Amino acid sequence: MSRPHALVARDDPRRLTLQARCTALVEAARSGVSVEGARDTLLADLCAFQAEHTAPYVRLVAAAHRARPPSSAHLPSPTRWPALPTDVFRMARVSTYDAAEDVRVFRTSGTTSGARGAHAFRDLALYDHAARTAADAALFPDLVGANARARTMRLVMLAPHERDAPDSSLSYMLTRFAEWYGDPREDGVTWALRDGVVEVDALTEALARATSSDEPVALLGTSFAFVFADDALGAQRFSLPPGSRVMQTGGFKGRTRTLEPDAMRALLSARYGVPDAFAIAEYGMTELSSQLYEGTLADALRGRSVAPRALRVPPWMRATPVDPETLAPVPHGEVGVLRLDDPANLDSVCAVQTSDLARRVDGGIVLLGRAPGAVPRGCSLAIEEAMTGRADV
């Protein structure tokens, strides 16, 4: 039987201290200061805090401690604290506080069983801070800093506005992008996806305006929306002004047409006339508060040599491919299932175990798709532990 856990008040001193440390960590990373040591210490303290207050994580940690001798707890390891599998977000509330305080609940797109993962927030300040800092560095580096070419640019969204999809973390983020980076003119931001349908006229008119005014545009959307747009546009092609960029995110789960990453970038470059380096992927999850981006756009805009493609991990996060059975870290370059530690997940759980295959390379993480077939055994056991408190010993 799992031990009881207490919900945490918003003004709990320990929570406020952790929140301040999370904010300071992201800010230090923005300034270019090395934060690895502070990050690891903060993540351990967050795990200890959440192991007392987030019910599924309370059970997971208790089961893990029974299965593994306490004497091993001092060993330095990015997986010293267990990570909660993303599937648990479909099965239980993952939160340190009462649902009455929710200001937003983001939900996954669903599964074949119909269950949707849910990530509750009572405060979006850390989410906003992490999202803006990551986008400043990877997506809009030319709009920030003393030498910024401009402070805003035209944006075209192939995704719904948050008012049309209030439980979508992507729509929430893109709506903030519209506020932070969008051209303030009436036609400066265009939303070209509604009710799952690409509004082709709105898309073509927005891109034509950018082209005729010779103003760079950022075209941001989901992978399947870009495929739908490609089908709808037929033979029409664009040659977007220099500095224009495309960001695509998400996979093709449940879709009839899929494209490999190289083919997707080729499609985007050919259709919109942007260089390959300016078409980048973003990786985010409902269960996280931070995002990862490919670094080629930032390299090109800063005049650096463009590094091979990889998702660059924000310095305040930790990304660790782990063995699918033991959930222990795999050697550099080997394939494992991706564990992500995100300190911006203050009020839920910062240690998240995905089912995405990945390998670590110099400069970041390369994703290799979902683990085939059943949930990896290590994740399956962790789900059982989180839901029942029972460990396989």
Last residue of a domain, one of 292, 315, 338: 315
The pLDDT value recorded for residue 160 is: 95
Are 333 and 309 members of one domain? no
In this prediction, residues 162-175 reach a mean pLDDT of: 96
> Over pLDDT 90: what percentage of the chain?
78
Tell me the sheet residues that pair with 361.
364
**pTM for this entry:** 0.93
Are 180 and 280 members of one domain? yes
Are 206 and 247 members of one domain? yes
In a domain, 106, yes or no: no
What values do phi and psi take at 70, rounded to 5? -55, -25
Picking from 22-26, 73-77, 345-349, which range would have the lowest pLDDT averaged per residue?
73-77
Any idea what the CATH number is for the domain that residue 325 is in? 2.30.38.10
Are 336 and 376 members of one domain? yes
pLDDT of residue 112 exceeding 70 = no
In this prediction, residues 19-48 reach a mean pLDDT of: 96
- Residue 212's pLDDT band, with cuts at 50, 70 and 90, is very high
b/e burial code for range 380-393 (CB count within 10 A of at least 16 → b): ebbbbbbbebebee
Q: What is the pLDDT of residues 58-106, one digit of tens each?
A: 999 999 877 664 444 444 467 789 999 999 999 999 999 999 999 999 9
pLDDT of residue 25 exceeding 50 = yes
50 with 96: CB under 8 angstroms?
A: yes
283 with 313: CB under 8 angstroms?
A: no
Distance of alpha carbon 8 from the chain centroid: 25
Are 392 and 342 members of one domain? yes
In a domain, 130, yes or no: yes
| Burial category of 254 from C-beta neighbours within 10 Å (exposed 0-12, middle 13-18, buried 19 and up) | exposed
- Residue 149's pLDDT band, with cuts at 50, 70 and 90, is confident
pLDDT of residue 228 exceeding 70 = yes
The pLDDT value recorded for residue 257 is: 61
Q: Degrees (nearest 5) of the Cα angle 160, 166, 167?
A: 105
Are 310 and 174 members of one domain? yes
Tell me the sheet residues that pair with 358.
336, 367
CA dihedral over 332, 335, 336, 338, signed as positive or negative = positive
Helix or strand (DSSP H, E) at 249: strand 245-249
In a domain, 118, yes or no: no
Last residue of a domain, one of 261, 292, 315: 315
The pLDDT value recorded for residue 110 is: 63
Are 309 and 199 members of one domain? yes
- Residue 117's pLDDT band, with cuts at 50, 70 and 90, is very high
Alpha carbon distance 280, 265 (integer Å): 8
The pLDDT value recorded for residue 73 is: 47
Are 169 and 143 members of one domain? yes
Range of the domain at 236: 125-315
The pLDDT value recorded for residue 75 is: 43
Are 303 and 323 members of one domain? no
Are 74 and 192 members of one domain? no
Picking from 25-34, 214-223, 257-266, which range would have the lowest pLDDT averaged per residue?
257-266
51 with 57: CB under 8 angstroms?
A: yes
pLDDT of residue 133 exceeding 90 = yes
The pLDDT value recorded for residue 114 is: 64
pLDDT of residue 393 exceeding 50 = no
- Which are the contacts of 372, defined by CB distance < 8 A and separation ≥ 6? none
pLDDT of residue 374 exceeding 80 = no
Q: What is the pLDDT of residues 239-278, one digit of tens each?
A: 999 999 999 998 545 444 667 889 999 999 999 999 999 9
Q: Is 387 strand, coil or helix? A: helix
In a domain, 114, yes or no: no
Q: Is 238 strand, coil or helix? A: coil
Are 213 and 90 members of one domain? no
- The number of domains in the chain is 2
In a domain, 343, yes or no: yes
The pLDDT value recorded for residue 391 is: 57
Q: Across all residues in the chain, what is the average pLDDT?
A: 91
In a domain, 220, yes or no: yes
The pLDDT value recorded for residue 355 is: 93
Last residue of a domain, one of 259, 281, 315: 315
Q: What is the pLDDT of residues 269-317, one digit of tens each?
A: 999 999 999 999 999 999 999 999 999 999 999 989 988 899 999 999 9
In a domain, 88, yes or no: yes
In this prediction, residues 205-232 reach a mean pLDDT of: 95
Any idea what the CATH number is for the domain that residue 270 is in? 3.40.50
In a domain, 192, yes or no: yes
Q: What is the pLDDT of residues 326-343, one digit of tens each?
A: 999 999 999 999 999 999
b/e burial code for range 315-332 (CB count within 10 A of at least 16 → b): bbbbbbbbbbeebebbee
Are 243 and 133 members of one domain? yes
